[in-house]
Amino acid sequence: MIRNIGCHLELTLSGPSELVFSVSAARGLPLSTEFLVVSAAGQLVTPKEVLDDHGTRLHLVRADAGPLVLDYTATIDGVAAPAEVTEVDRLRYLRQSRYCEADSLAPTAAAEFAGLTGPALLVSVAEWVNQRVAYVSGSSTGTDSALDTLLARRGVCRDFAHLVIALLRALGVPARLAAVYAPGLSPMEFHAVAEALVDDQWWAVDATRLAPRQSLVRVATGRDAADTAFLSSFGDYVELNALEVTAVVGDFELDDQSTLTALW
């Protein structure tokens, strides 16, 4: 499976800032080509790469006031080995996190999914969320949680993923968020899916049903969106002026009907 991914970001910095980008394919994917170019005020800068959990690659850039442009492209030829399962992860991804209030949603989860386990539970939770939440671009804010999403009955991909994660954790299933490039996604953008641990394997669960699961490209993995943002800034105000994302898969029959699949 050959996948071509990339993104283009244009920012304006109002003053000195430290930027953390999470846009690169995660470590462990079979990269055949990769280019990351960053310029600040027209001058090339060299980001510092820091490795986070699960192969997430963070690129740190320090720059003063002015324009900043990032371009990233990569070709992945093949698929990575199955995601590792550790005892620490089993515990970490059962805990509450900023955007996933498993305790508040525990009564709902118990009432709606009683008696279900394994893959059947994952499919049922994904279908339940899909039927009750409408995908509406721009309908949520960066502080909306799983409970907010359920009450509003609308959201974007991260909101769908947060609700799935919170429901699964409430049922004793370790669950986390994966930020991905998603060939076939419409509209094209960075995408977020839930990932659940069942039968000693991590499974991708995408309640939006907007993109085929088999060709997803992992970027970042964490408890929720707080761990997986494509851009974090520290310092003066930073304005995002343009964002373009591309993700294309070649010579592969995509199945956009499946609810879950193994990641990656």
pLDDT confidence of 254, banded at 50, 70, 90? low
The helix or strand, by DSSP H or E, that contains position 8, with its residue range, turns out to be strand 2-13
Topology, domain 87-227 = C8orf32 fold (3.10.620)
pLDDT at 259 over 70: no
First to last CA, the chain: 11
In tens, the pLDDT along 12-55 reads 999 999 999 999 999 999 999 999 999 999 999 999 999 998 99
pLDDT at 84 over 90: no
Instruction: Show me where the domains of the chain are located.
Output: 2-79+230-250, 87-227
**Predicted pLDDT at 264:** 46
pLDDT confidence of 257, banded at 50, 70, 90? very low
2-79+230-250 and 87-227 in the same fold: no
Tell me the C-alpha distance between 259 and 207, whole Å: 7
In this structure, which amino acid lies at residue 174?
A: P
Topology, domain 2-79+230-250 = Immunoglobulin-like (2.60.40)
Tell me the C-alpha distance between 145 and 98, whole Å: 8
Average pLDDT taken over every residue of the chain: 93
